[in-house]
Chain A
Amino acid sequence: MSQYLLRRLLIALPSLLGISVVLFTILALAPGDPFEELATNPAIPPEVREALRVKFGLDDPVWTRYFRWLTAMLQGDWGFSFASRVDVDELILGRVPTTLIVIGSSQLLALLVALPVGVIAATRPYSIFDQIANTLAFIGFSLPTFFTGLLLILVFSIYLDWLPFVYRADVPGSGWPWLWEHIKQAIMPVLVLGLFQGASMTRYVRSATLDVIRLDYVTTARSKGLRERVVIVKHVVRNSLIPVVTLVALQMPAVFGGAIVTEQIFRVPGIGSLLISAILANDTPVIMGVTFVFAILVILFNLIADVLYGWLDPRISYR
Chain B
Amino acid sequence: MSATGTGERLLDIRGLKTHFKTDDGWVHAVDGVDIALDAGETLGVVGESGCGKTITAMSTLKLIPMPPGRIVAGQILWRGRDIVPLTSDEMRSIRAKEIAIVFQEPMTSLNPVYTVGDQIGEVIRQHEGLNKKQTLDRTIEMLRLVHIPNPERRVNDYPHQFSGGMRQRVMIAMALSCNPKLLIADEPTTALDVTIQAQILELLAEMKSKLGMAVMLITHAMGVVAETCQRVVVMYAGKVVEEAPVRELFRNPRHPYTQGLIRSIPRIDLAAVKKTRLEAIGGVVPRLIDPAPGCRFAARCRFAKGICSEATPELREVAPGHKVACVLA
Chain A interface (Cβ < 8 Å from any Cβ of B): 215-217, 219-228, 234-235, 238-239, 312-315
Mask of B96-116 contacts with A, CB within 8 angstroms, 1/0: 110011010100111111110
Number of interface residues of B (CB under 8 A): 30
Min CB distance A1 to B, Å, is: 16
B95:A224 contact, CB within 8 angstroms? yes
A223:B95 contact, CB within 8 angstroms? yes
Q: Once bound together, how far apart are the Cα atoms of A50 and B286, in whole Å?
A: 91
Mask of B76-112 contacts with A, CB within 8 angstroms, 1/0: 0000000000001001111111001101010011111
Question: 30 A-B pairs, CB-CB below 8 angstroms?
Answer: A215-B108, A216-B109, A217-B110, A217-B112, A219-B63, A219-B103, A219-B109, A220-B110, A220-B171, A220-B174, A221-B111, A222-B95, A223-B61, A223-B95, A224-B122, A224-B174, A225-B95, A225-B97, A225-B123, A225-B126, A226-B92, A226-B122, A227-B92, A228-B88, A238-B113, A239-B113, A313-B112, A314-B113, A314-B158, A315-B160
A217:B88 contact, CB within 8 angstroms? no
A313:B92 contact, CB within 8 angstroms? no
A223:B126 contact, CB within 8 angstroms? no
Q: Once bound together, how far apart are the Cα atoms of A315 and B113, in whole Å?
A: 8
- Residues of A within 8 Å of B122, CB to CB, are 224, 226
B96:A225 contact, CB within 8 angstroms? yes
The contact of A220 among B91, B111, B113, B126, by CB within 8 Å, is B111
Min CB distance A214 to B, Å, is: 8
Mask of B34-64 contacts with A, CB within 8 angstroms, 1/0: 0000000000000000000000000001010
Q: Once bound together, how far apart are the Cα atoms of A224 and B103, in whole Å?
A: 12
Chain B interface (Cβ < 8 Å from any Cβ of A): 61, 63, 88, 91-97, 100-101, 103, 105, 108-115, 122-123, 126-127, 158, 160, 171, 174
Q: Once bound together, how far apart are the Cα atoms of A224 and B101, in whole Å?
A: 9
- Residues of A within 8 Å of B160, CB to CB, are 314-315
**CB within 8 Å: A-B pair count:** 67
A216:B108 contact, CB within 8 angstroms? yes
Q: Once bound together, how far apart are the Cα atoms of A266 and B100, in whole Å?
A: 60
Min CB distance B87 to A, Å, is: 11
- Residues of A within 8 Å of B123, CB to CB, are 224-225
- Residues of A within 8 Å of B158, CB to CB, are 314-315
A217:B100 contact, CB within 8 angstroms? no
Q: Given the interface contacts A222-B95, A225-B123, does A312 sit within 8 Å of B113 by beta carbon?
A: yes
The contact of B111 among A223, A227, A228, A239, by CB within 8 Å, is A239
B63:A217 contact, CB within 8 angstroms? no
Extra inter-chain contacts (17) besides given A223-B61, A226-B126, CB under 8 Å: A216-B108, A216-B109, A217-B108, A217-B110, A220-B103, A223-B63, A223-B95, A224-B95, A224-B122, A224-B126, A225-B93, A225-B97, A225-B123, A227-B92, A238-B113, A312-B113, A315-B158
Closest to A235 in B: B111
Most buried by A among B61, B111, B126, B174: B111
The contact of B109 among A217, A238, A312, by CB within 8 Å, is A217
Min CB distance A146 to B, Å, is: 40
- Residues of A within 8 Å of B61, CB to CB, are 223
Q: Once bound together, how far apart are the Cα atoms of A227 and B89, in whole Å?
A: 8
- Residues of B within 8 Å of A227, CB to CB, are 92
Most buried by A among B94, B101, B112: B112
Closest to B93 in A: A225
Closest to A221 in B: B111
Q: Once bound together, how far apart are the Cα atoms of A223 and B58, in whole Å?
A: 9
Q: Once bound together, how far apart are the Cα atoms of A220 and B61, in whole Å?
A: 11
Min CB distance B69 to A, Å, is: 13
Min CB distance A68 to B, Å, is: 50
Min CB distance B41 to A, Å, is: 21
Min CB distance B32 to A, Å, is: 25
Closest to B104 in A: A216
A217:B111 contact, CB within 8 angstroms? yes
**Complex A-B, nearest 3 residue pairs according to Cβ-Cβ distance, in ascending order:** A225-B95, A216-B108, A225-B92
Closest to B120 in A: A224
Q: Once bound together, how far apart are the Cα atoms of A217 and B170, in whole Å?
A: 13
Min CB distance B172 to A, Å, is: 12
Min CB distance A138 to B, Å, is: 25
Closest to B184 in A: A223
- Residues of B within 8 Å of A220, CB to CB, are 103, 109-111, 171, 174
Min CB distance A140 to B, Å, is: 29
Closest to B171 in A: A220
Q: Once bound together, how far apart are the Cα atoms of A220 and B174, in whole Å?
A: 10
